[in-house]
Structure 1
């Protein structure tokens, strides 16, 4: 700080009288400067004392921001480390919820059908020219360990000298003897089977034989088996499907009136489906 003294007006007073006020002013100025230096020197000390007090007592309202933050952190632990009251008793967030049980267990799942299967059965030739229905139905029943006579089965089928009417009769008799409702009647209504009907017959045969049930088919007309043997029944006939292979695309037939005298042969399911045209089968 500088102090500049300037007289308010000029005077004619001799210089010896003007020197006195100037000397006094200089003295005043020296005193003022000395006091200012002293005050200035005392300020840092006061501030240092205040800071040391604040560091010693961080909880006091006069503490600095950093000290207050350290105190708050020590008093209240981090929320991530301490569960809230609402979450008390709850499972840790890292524990996954148990998975819902599957809709169906493996034990309840139907086993896949084998590529080939043949049932154990007991063969018998039909006893007369119109007992093809009773003979074929009885062969199917022997696969279920049931052994009625052909005459008993004929009564169940209501067979006459004109034969057995339709697949509905074999379906009804088979369910009665097996005490079940497994068998259903399936019909091929056209002059030849469609691809959808062939596929359905294949599926029906695989399903029935996989479950231990032989199939009875009512056929008419002629066909040739896998070995070239011809089989012709212009007036109609009943025979039994007792096995399949090649995933159901080939079937084994037990024929109670086989003209070749063997009683069994194989042919494609497609040929059997065409052979069954305008008629039906029980599966």
Structure 2
């Protein structure tokens, strides 16, 4: 019989070599997967700034001066939060408003950018109802804009219900201005140029506002 002892060193060497090769292979594979970035230190993780719990802007309310001036009036309210108080006629000229109204939120974004010097963008909600993702985006956009002292203009159509259960209906379309928020943007303060009672404002859930904007868009 052959003694097993004779083979132990060879077995040990072979096993050690395989272990070393396997470890080297893992290291090479990991380096290949990591790519050039592995040569650098791990990036510092940053956390997005959380919106304030509540915030409202100072603004000057003025009801729309005729039945088709909701766009100019809403844009003027928004501009007033930045200290700009042009006439509704001036805003109408810039917006291209006619007796048929103001075309879209693309116009209010363009004019607010021109008048206030702030970087406004337009976001569309294309379907007949806002999706949960679009509701979340509106909440984030409102909070971000108002935190930067920018009012938001919403182009709405149909009916919207405020937090008191009052429903306002604009079948042909309408423009309103968002001038504040609560609960990190889950509820918004709407300045409505066609609702001249008091200061013309009411509170509405962001979910209801998103569905009110459906098939149209907003400037933030």
**Is 2:150 aligned against 1:219?**
no
Which residue matches 1:187?
124
**Is 2:170 aligned against 1:233?**
yes
Do 2:63 and 2:196's aligned partners in 1 also have CA atoms closer than 8 Å? no
Size of the alignment, in residue pairs? 179
Measure the CA separation in 1 of the matches of 2:148 and 2:48.
Answer: 10
**Is 2:51 aligned against 1:113?**
yes
**Is 2:208 aligned against 1:271?**
yes
- RMSD of aligned alpha carbons: 1.9
Measure the CA separation in 2 of the matches of 1:227 and 1:187.
Answer: 27
Tell me by how many angstroms 1:112 deviates.
3.7
**Helix, strand or coil for the counterpart of 1:145?**
coil
Distance 1:150 1:127, change over 3 A: same
Residues 13-92 of structure 1 correspond to what in structure 2 (within 5 A)?
none
Measure the CA separation in 1 of the matches of 2:60 and 2:70.
Answer: 15
**Helix, strand or coil for the counterpart of 2:190?**
strand
Measure the CA separation in 2 of the matches of 1:179 and 1:243.
Answer: 20
**Is 2:89 aligned against 1:151?**
yes
Q: Which residue among 133, 158, 164 is the counterpart of 1:196?
A: 133
Q: Which residue among 237, 249, 262 is the counterpart of 2:186?
A: 249
Unaligned runs of 5+ in 1: 1-99
Which residue matches 2:63?
125
**Helix, strand or coil for the counterpart of 1:130?**
coil
Tell me by how many angstroms 1:164 deviates.
0.1
Structure showing the higher strand proportion among its residues: 2
**Helix, strand or coil for the counterpart of 2:51?**
coil
- For normalisation by structure 2, the TM-score amounts to 0.77
Distance 1:233 1:149, change over 3 A: same
Which residue matches 1:58?
none
**Helix, strand or coil for the counterpart of 1:266?**
strand
Unaligned runs of 5+ in 2: 1-40
Tell me by how many angstroms 1:113 deviates.
2.0
Higher relative contact order (CA 8 A, sep 6+): 2
Which residue matches 1:85?
none
